[in-house]
Amino acid sequence: MWTNKQIIEHRLACEILNKIKDSTFTFIRRNEDKGITEYQVQKFILGQFEKYNVENKIDAPIVAFNKDAAIPHYFPKKKSKKLKKNTLILIDLWAKLRNEKAPYSDITWMAYYGKVPEEVERAFGVIIEARDACLYFVREN
């Protein structure tokens, strides 16, 4: 069971990860025409961890384009996929405050660079319905 301090630390880590997520998508948008790679986005996120004084002692954040997003725990190498039109983007971030007993916060976001195909839109709709059903179940029970 978490202490009150850990609950506060978790909420703060969540807020920080949301800021990092937002700045990451801004970074991607600003560099979309420069052939930015999965690896470069991952390095940007790690720089944000330093900026916001959070840490991840487990693994580097996941940044995956297209088919790489289907690989569990995919980690890009220096020579990784470049962003181009019609690219599915996944970022998975987890970090905690730099306190030994602070709990981790973890968020996963997906985006699409280009016109979203109907197949992707339908799959996303199914995912949203499943998420909402789970949240309803948790709230009711």
What's residue 101's pLDDT?
92
Three-state SS for the chain is: CCCHHHHHHHHHHHHHHHHHHHHHHHHHHHCHHHCCEHHHHHHHHHHHHHHCCEECCCCCCEEEEHHHHHCCCCCCCCCCCECCCCEEEEEEEEEEECCCCCCCEEEEEEEEECCCCHHHHHHHHHHHHHHHHHHHHHHHC
pLDDT per residue of the chain (141 residues) written in tens, 0 to 9: 899 999 999 999 999 999 999 999 999 999 988 989 999 999 999 999 999 999 998 889 999 999 999 998 899 999 999 999 999 999 999 999 999 999 999 999 999 999 999 998 999 899 999 999 999 999 999
Global pTM reads 0.89
What's residue 96's pLDDT?
97
